[in-house]
């Protein structure tokens, strides 16, 4: 039984056939049972792109297909006239019957030639449909990763972010350069992306142990340039303390070494905190979930984080 669609377009719309086809395929229609047919090329300039949409049986395999008829020129229409068959010059001496017969014969040849080009038109239409489907995924960035996949080669952090987190980060990229001196803004960005409380404050100046193996010879010493008094040296800037929490134990597991949130936090620190600032990360769990426990199967105890004495 043949089924037909209501009018796809309204007076204020003009959807293209490949857009409709990509939407139908996205909603579950079989791409192999959908055909775009160049139907009325002579109406291209005065009509909408889609002429009609309906189910009907193919004369080739007697299978039901969804046909999208368009007001477009076919490949045949763009070729020089008479390329595949000779046009007739009607003389006065010819009878009406012979002229009608020849017209029917020429139309039959034209129909055969149009069918010859249909596989090429189907291949072109498939490319257009695939291009539309690919483009529409950019418009639905909350559901597809096409946009983030393009940028992940330039921003390594995108490899660890979910689609929603990645879109937030992409919107934040323009203001990253302004965060190095604004600890509150820096903490808010980390809080939004990691979906847990983050606080950043200045601490004391740390001291860095010197590697005795790299000591210069006595004759080459330059105090304050390549040597210092003692075995350590003080950082020029105060430490930055990054406080994560309070969070639940389930969230805390995501910050274990090698886990997703741990990798994201490291990337955010590298991107936003100046390289000359020493960073110390501290974790805090909800007090209601903090109690004494030992490490066991499926659980690692960290003193001061998820276990207390």
| pLDDT (0 to 100) of residue 12 | 86
Is position 301 within any domain? no
Whether residue 50 lies inside any domain: the answer is: yes
Residues 240, 134 share a domain? no
Confirm whether 43 is domain-assigned.
yes
Quick one: 196 and 247 in the same domain?
yes
- pLDDT-above-70 percentage for the chain: 83
Domain count, the chain: 2
pLDDT category at 1 given cuts 50, 70, 90 is very low
Tell me the mean pLDDT in the region 238-247: 90
Are 203 and 128 contained in the same domain? no
* Domain-embedded: residue 120: yes
Task: Please give the pLDDT value at position 89.
Answer: 60
Domain around 44: 17-78+99-139
Segment 214-239 shows an average pLDDT of 72
Q: Would residue 269 count as lying in a domain?
A: yes
Distance between CA 265 and CA 260 in Å, rounded? Answer: 9
- End-to-end Cα, the chain, rounded Å: 77
Please check whether residue 298 lies inside any domain of the structure: no
Q: Check: CB of residue 49 under 8 Å from CB of residue 16.
A: yes
Q: Where are the beta strands (DSSP E) in the chain?
A: 34-38, 50-57, 64-70, 198-202, 207-209, 232-234, 240-247, 279-285
Question: What CATH number is attached to the domain comprising 248?
Answer: 3.30.300
> CA–CA separation, 67 vs 57, rounded Å?
9
In a domain, 216, yes or no: no
Q: Which band of pLDDT confidence, cut at 50, 70 and 90, is reported for residue 2?
A: very low
> Within this chain, do residues 66 and 127 fall inside the same structural domain, yes or no?
yes
Distance (Å, whole) CA 248 – CA 288 = 9
Report the distance separating Cα 113 and Cα 86, nearest Å.
13
Who contacts 64 (Cβ-Cβ below 8 Å, separation ≥6)?
A: 33, 55, 56, 57, 58
Record the pTM: 0.64
Q: Say whether both 117 and 203 belong to one domain.
A: no
Q: Write the DSSP assignment of 106-117 as a string of letters.
A: HHHHHHHHHHHH
Q: Is pLDDT above 80 for 9?
A: yes
CB atoms under 10 Å from CB of 169, counted, come to 23
Give percent above pLDDT 90 in the chain: 32
pLDDT, residue 282, reads 92
Same domain, 110 and 186: no
Q: Is residue 38 domain-shared with residue 130, that is, in the same domain? A: yes
Q: How far is CA 165 from the centre of its chain?
A: 12
279-285 β-sheet, strand order: 198-202, 240-247, 279-285
The last residue of a domain, from among 86, 121, 139: 139
163 in a structural domain: no
What pLDDT is stored for residue 199 in this prediction? 94
How far does CA 149 lie from the centroid of its chain? 6
296 φ, ψ to 5°? -155, -165
- 203-218 burial code (b ≥16 CB/10 A, e <16): eeeeeeeeeeeeeeee
Band the pLDDT of 90: cuts 50, 70, 90: low
């Amino acid at each position: 039984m043949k089924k037909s669609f209501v009018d796809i377009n309204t007076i204020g719309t003009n959807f293209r056939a490949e857009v409709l086809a990509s939407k139908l395929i996205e909603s579950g229609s079989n791409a192999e049972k959908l055909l775009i047919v160049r139907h009325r090329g002579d109406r291209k300039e005065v009509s909408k792109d889609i002429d009609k949409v309906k189910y009907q049986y193919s004369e080739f395999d007697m299978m039901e297909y969804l046909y999208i008829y368009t007001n477009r020129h076919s490949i045949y229409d763009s070729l020089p006239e008479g390329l595949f068959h000779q046009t007739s010059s009607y003389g006065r001496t010819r009878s009406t019957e012979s002229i009608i017969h020849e017209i029917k014969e020429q139309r039959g040849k034209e129909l055969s030639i149009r069918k010859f080009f249909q596989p090429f038109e189907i291949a072109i239409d498939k490319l257009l449909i695939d291009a539309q489907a690919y483009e529409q995924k950019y418009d639905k960035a909350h559901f597809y990763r096409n946009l983030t996949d393009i940028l992940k080669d330039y921003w390594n952090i995108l490899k660890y972010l979910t689609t929603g987190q990645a879109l937030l980060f992409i919107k934040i990229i323009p203001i990253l350069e302004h965060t190095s001196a604004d600890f509150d803004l820096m903490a808010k960005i980390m809080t939004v992306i990691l979906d847990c409380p983050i606080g950043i404050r200045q601490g004391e100046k740390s001291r860095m142990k010197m590697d005795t193996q790299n000591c210069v010879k006595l004759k080459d010493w330059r105090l304050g340039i390549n040597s210092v008094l003692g075995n350590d040296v003080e950082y020029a800037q105060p430490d930055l303390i990054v406080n994560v929490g309070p969070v639940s134990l389930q969230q805390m597991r995501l910050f274990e070494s090698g886990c997703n949130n741990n990798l994201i936090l490291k990337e955010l620190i590298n991107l936003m905190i100046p390289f000359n600032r020493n960073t110390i990360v501290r974790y805090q769990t909800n007090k209601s979930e903090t109690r004494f426990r030992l490490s066991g199967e499926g659980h690692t105890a960290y003193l001061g984080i998820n276990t207390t004495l």
